[in-house]
Structure 1
Amino acid sequence: MRGTSAGDGPWLDDAAGRLVRPFTVSNGRTRPTIAFDLMSQVMATGSGDIGHLGPEHAQALDLCRAPVSVAEIAAHLRLPAVVTKVLLADLVGCGALTAKPPAFHHNPTDRSLLEAVLDGLRRQL
């Protein structure tokens, strides 16, 4: 496939863009069987049979050698978060991943937290 970016595999083409629609990798599923937050941490268990799953599952699992957030995995895979959550739920279901909620336990709509995020975003622009 001409124009494929290094590391992207056959899914992206520089000229054409994404060659496979994001929701085809999840077989059209849009609801994960496990509730994930974008900041949920997942990590490979080293076990589980993923032979029946697709190559996208293997790519996601490869990113999970150390604890990593759902948001980071979605960014690396260049997939929508909901599609990534479906893939990760499949991997948890077959025993290949473990998942835990975010490390923080405060209110995610806390005004000071939202202001800190906004300040960080402004510094990036």
Structure 2
Amino acid sequence: MTGLPPRRMVPAYLATGGRARPGRASLDRLTVLTAVDPSPADDLGPEHRSLHELLGAGALTLVEAAAHLRLPVSATGFLAADLVDAGRLQARTPIPRAQQIDHALVERLLVGLRTLR
């Protein structure tokens, strides 16, 4: 066997309970997730518990959490939405992209800096 990671034993559709849509509005791939209470959650299923424990150490985006859990982003979104609805996680919308760079301003700045030599 090559250096491939072991395959998941539980298919992603079982981790979501076979649902096609999350219980709440879909979370963005860059939504920042944080555990509200990092104490152990024994009343959760194994996939939900794994996500909750992962976020107990700090905030991660949905896509980062999916990579750590080795689940598809869509399946991780279902789990996160369930935990947000249950009050176990906080979901913060991603920070909006910065405005486009004004290339004319940058050119003028470079010209000004070159004249200072």
| TM-score over 0.5 (shorter chain) | yes
1:69 alignment partner AA: T
Question: Which among 15, 36, 53 is matched to residue 45 of structure 1?
Answer: 36
* Matches of 1:64 and 1:30, distance apart in 2: 24
Identity of aligned residues (%): 34
Q: Which has the larger radius of gyration?
A: 2
Contact 1:41/1:67 (8 A) holds in 2 = yes
Give runs of ≥4 in structure 1 deviating > 6 Å.
none
1:1-125 to structure 2, matched below 5 A, reads 14=6, 17-32=7-22, 33-46=24-37, 51-65=42-56, 66-105=58-97
Q: Which structure's relative contact order is higher, taking Cα pairs within 8 Å and 6+ residues apart?
A: 2
Question: 1:96 deviation in Å?
Answer: 0.4
Structure 2: give runs of 5+ residues left out of the alignment: 101-117
Question: 1:30 deviation in Å?
Answer: 2.7
Structure 1: give runs of 5+ residues left out of the alignment: 1-12, 111-125
- Superposition CA RMSD, Å: 2.5
